[in-house]
Amino acid sequence: MLDALIQILTTLVTTLRDVAPIALILGFFQIVVLRQRVPHLKQVLIGFVYVILGLALFLVGLQEALFPLGETMARQLTDPAFIYGGEAIPEDRDWTKYYWIYLFAFTIGFSTTIAEPSLIAVSLKADEASGGAISSWPLRIAVAVGVALSIALGAFRIVTGTPLHLYMMVGYVLVVVQTMFAPKEIVPLAYDSGGVTTSTVTVPLVTALGLGLASTVPGRSPLIDGFGLIALASLFPMITVMGYAQGSAAWAAWQRKRTKAVLAATGPHPEPPQSALEAHMKPTETTPETDASAALMKEDGEHEVQADNRPGDRRED
């Protein structure tokens, strides 16, 4: 208990020392450059204390829980007894036997990215700035799928021992090609999405997973093979976000083309049925009876006009 308390206090002092330059810079520009008082000073100080305490407890949690958890899971999933089930361990490792590692890497990458606070903030701002055209939830799903694929591919790289630079070169070539054809509105957001994924929740677990795999897989170096997952996790979200935008644009274009084809096949649309009032007001063909009645009424009218115009009936002034 005493050791845990000493560790918390030590981490608290270290965190305060790390955050102090940020506070000094903000205070300098607010007081010296802008020459204005800090608005809501009490709330700012309370928030600053919360930040220090939160960061300190988070760092303690990383050291005591997340790092050991990632290393333990990697060690258990790469145990030869678990992989080969009591069979003789071959000299040449079969990468297909490590499918549980790939599945675990995919799921841990997806779940940690969905819970990433920085990604949530960026997706909400993108939804707000685009007026709802870029929804928050599909964007988070696209980024999470990219990170999940990158972590699974990174686990495959550690198991097989292939060089990291090959994945990075191919990935960035694909990003450059996608950038030329993707909608221009999504390109900056896709590039930012690759950066916000590697933050407070994803980095500790992914780093622990990489180091655990490199430490337990025979013939792998933790320093050479254990790192590099974060680089892949920053690369693949750019690919998946631009791919999501390109797929959405292609789907919308196909829907419009299909609608035009259906309209062209059905021909001109018939006029909508008229209401009873419109049908009554529209001129229609006349029958003989109605023609005779109209002629009789016209003849009577002419006789009345002639009677009114007789000379005897006109008064001389």
Q: Are residues 142 and 40 in the same domain?
A: no
How far is it, in rounded angstroms, from Cα 78 to Cα 159? 10
Whether 43 shows a pLDDT value over 60: the answer reads yes
Domain assignment present for residue 282? The answer is no
Instruction: Give every CB contact of residue 235 below 8 A, 6+ residues apart in sequence.
Output: 150, 168, 171, 172, 175, 194
167 occurs within a structural domain: yes
- What is the number of structural domains in the chain? 2
* Domain termination residue (choose one: 50, 66, 82): 66
Q: What does the pLDDT read at residue 31?
A: 86
Same structural domain, 126 and 243: yes
In the Cβ-directed half-sphere of 252, how many Cα atoms lie within 13 Å? 6
Decide if 194 contacts 234 (C-beta within 8 A): yes
Q: Which of 31-35, 88-92, 125-129, 280-284 has the lowest mean pLDDT?
A: 280-284
The answer to whether residue 59 is domain-embedded is: yes
Q: Give yes or no: residues 147 and 19 share one domain.
A: no
State which H helix or E strand residue 265 sits in: helix 229-266
> d(Cα 85, Cα 80) in Å, to the nearest integer?
7
Four-point Cα dihedral 267, 271, 273, 275, nearest 10: 170
Residues 44 and 189 in one domain: no
Residues 60 and 110 in one domain: no
For the chain, where are the alpha helices, taking DSSP H only? 2-28, 41-61, 67-77, 80-84, 99-114, 117-129, 136-160, 164-181, 187-196, 202-216, 222-225, 229-266, 276-281, 288-308
- Torsion 150-151-157-160 (CA) sign: negative
Question: Is the residue at 263 inside a domain?
Answer: no
Asked whether the predicted pLDDT for residue 291 surpasses 90, the reply is: no
- The CA-CA-CA angle for residues 280, 286, 291, to 5°, reads 125
pTM: 0.69
Pick the last residue of a domain from 236, 254, 272: 254
Q: Is the domain of 57 the same as that of 168?
A: no
275 — pLDDT class (breaks 50, 70, 90)? very low
> Would you say residue 88 lies in a domain?
no
Boundary residue ending a domain (214, 235, 254):
254
Summarised one tens digit per residue, pLDDT across range 226-256 is 888 888 988 999 999 999 989 888 888 898 8
